[in-house]
Amino acid sequence: MTMTGKTGRVLLIYTGGTIGMGKNPDTGALEPLDFNHLLECLPEFQQIRTSVSVFQFENPMDSSDMNPDVWIRLCHIISDNYSGYDGFVILHGTDTMAYTASALSFMLENLTKPVILTGSQLPIGQLRTDGKENLVTSLELAAAKDSNGHAIVPEVAIYFSGNLLRGNRSTKKSAENFNAFESYNYPHLGSAGVNIKWASHHILKPDFSKPMTPHFKMNPNVLVFSLFPGIQESIFRNLLEIPELKGIVMRSFGAGNAPHQKWLIDLLGDASEKGITVVNVSQCMAGAVEMDLYDNGFQLQKAGVITGLDSTVEAAVTKLMFLHGQYDDPQTVRRLLQTDIAGEITGF
Ligand code: ASP
């Protein structure tokens, strides 16, 4: 569906999520409905200044069912339509939105156009919905250009409740509040109140003279694993023996610490030798892993554990899938894990 007589062209990709859900009359539970339902609840859609085309998933999904195959599909939809649009808005459930945003930020190299993910906490058909503002503002953000005709936000971002955040720095922080996302280790890219304000110096600057390069391979054989007091050797050993395992995001304590146990260091060392990449990400929401601060962090480093610096878990796990999908050589994966490739980590 395309509308004419408008400024800017945006492709709206509807994957599902609460924004488009309605109540099942029998069970009362929320279930995904198609885009026509969403349009019926949003008569204002016709007044939007941007020309919007819609790509709707045939089976809109709850984002808890999101997976790397769908990320590859999204990557194809964006790259196939790249030249025809000024920007893209992805309507997505909030539960795994930060994972999808992170994955796409790695898969769409040298992105020169906005890819804005949004959704809502209340369905668009409910009186107090946050979905209308989130959707309408996201369309505006996706079409916004500077005086040179370049996109103002040429990156994968999440727009939610007035805040524009870098996608691979975002985390869902609340299942209750409209203000559901935060970027703890990176400043906001902008805010939308009465006016839209951009934090231009925090927004990525791609090379506009070069093409965007999509990457369609992800290796999902990875694991996220949290350390906790009392962790057992036999359980950890069994995990590391899974034959398909390529990489682990290890959620450590504080600034990257782990229990001072010889068996743990030995098992991590064996895993590195087998070519399993282990990335150390803190369980804290804010701050970074500093493995040379305390002796047990230092031991982890000696065992081949890689610092995830100030990465979110969402960015670390999708980056592992991405790098293991692109490269067979564990050394290249290890090197790139510590390199900022899409604004996801801060080097110190
Ligand atoms: N379960 C929903 C989803 O992620 C929640 C939401 O959209 O807010 O699809």
| pLDDT tens readout for residues 219-267 | 999 999 999 999 999 999 999 999 999 999 999 999 999 998 999 999 9
Q: Are 96 and 21 within 8 A, CB to CB?
A: no
Please identify, by atom number, the ligand 1 atom nearest to the C-alpha of residue 19.
Answer: 7
Residue 94 Cβ inside 6 Å of ligand 1? The answer reads yes
Please identify, by atom number, the ligand 1 atom nearest to the C-alpha of residue 16.
Answer: 9
Residue 45's pLDDT band, with cuts at 50, 70 and 90, is confident
In this prediction, residue 165 carries a pLDDT of 98
Residue 34 Cβ inside 6 Å of ligand 1? The answer reads no
Task: Please state, for a pLDDT cut of 70, what percent of the chain lies above it.
Answer: 98
The whole-angstrom separation of Cα 65 and Cα 210 is 34
Residue 62 Cβ inside 6 Å of ligand 1? The answer reads yes
Q: Are 117 and 90 within 8 A, CB to CB?
A: yes
Residue 4's pLDDT band, with cuts at 50, 70 and 90, is low
Indicate if the pLDDT at residue 2 is higher than 60. no
CA of 20 to the centre of ligand 1 (A): 10
Residue 270 Cβ inside 6 Å of ligand 1? The answer reads no
Torsion of CA 261, 313, 309, 290, to 10 degrees: -30
Q: What pLDDT digit, counting tens, does each position of 124-176 carry?
A: 989 999 999 999 999 999 999 999 999 999 999 999 999 999 999 999 999 99
In this prediction, residue 235 carries a pLDDT of 96
Residue 134 Cβ inside 6 Å of ligand 1? The answer reads no
For the packed helices 68-80 and 97-107, what is the interaxial angle rounded to 10 degrees?
Answer: 50
Residue 137 Cβ inside 6 Å of ligand 1? The answer reads no
| Residue to mutate (ligand 1; options 21, 63, 97, 124; most atoms within 8 A of CB) | 63
Cβ-based neighbour number of residue 188 at 10 Å: 18
Q: Among residues 270, 192, 260, 259, which one has the least CA distance to residue 226?
A: 259
Residue 185 Cβ inside 6 Å of ligand 1? The answer reads no
CA of 121 to the centre of ligand 1 (A): 7
Residue 22 is encoded by which pair of tokens?
């309605």
Residue 89's pLDDT band, with cuts at 50, 70 and 90, is very high
- 28 to each of 22, 24, 41, 184, 338, how far by Cα in Å? 9, 5, 19, 36, 47
User: In whole angstroms, what separates CA 268 from the centre of its chain?
Assistant: 27
Please give the average per-residue pLDDT across 91-98, as a whole number.
98
For 31-40, 154-163, 179-188, 321-330, which range has the lowest pLDDT when averaged over its residues? 31-40
Please give the average per-residue pLDDT across 283-301, as a whole number.
89
CA of 346 to the centre of ligand 1 (A): 29
Ligand 1, atom 3, lies closest to the CA of 93
In this prediction, residue 3 carries a pLDDT of 42
CA of 75 to the centre of ligand 1 (A): 21
Pure H helices in the chain: 35-40, 68-80, 97-107, 131-143, 233-240, 262-273, 295-302, 313-326, 330-337
Residue 1's pLDDT band, with cuts at 50, 70 and 90, is very low
Q: What are the phi and psi torsion angles at 153 (to 5°)? A: -120, 75
For the packed helices 233-240 and 262-273, what is the interaxial angle rounded to 10 degrees?
Answer: 0
Residues identified as active-site? 18
Q: What pLDDT digit, counting tens, does each position of 303-332 carry?
A: 999 999 999 999 999 999 999 999 999 999
37 vs 105, residue with greater confidence = 105
For 44-58, 176-190, 328-342, which range has the lowest pLDDT when averaged over its residues? 44-58
CA of 63 to the centre of ligand 1 (A): 6
Residue 41's pLDDT band, with cuts at 50, 70 and 90, is confident
Q: What are the phi and psi torsion angles at 125 (to 5°)? A: -80, -5
Residue 64's pLDDT band, with cuts at 50, 70 and 90, is very high
For 29-38, 275-284, 334-343, which range has the lowest pLDDT when averaged over its residues? 29-38
44 vs 92, residue with greater confidence = 92
The whole-angstrom separation of Cα 59 and Cα 47 is 27
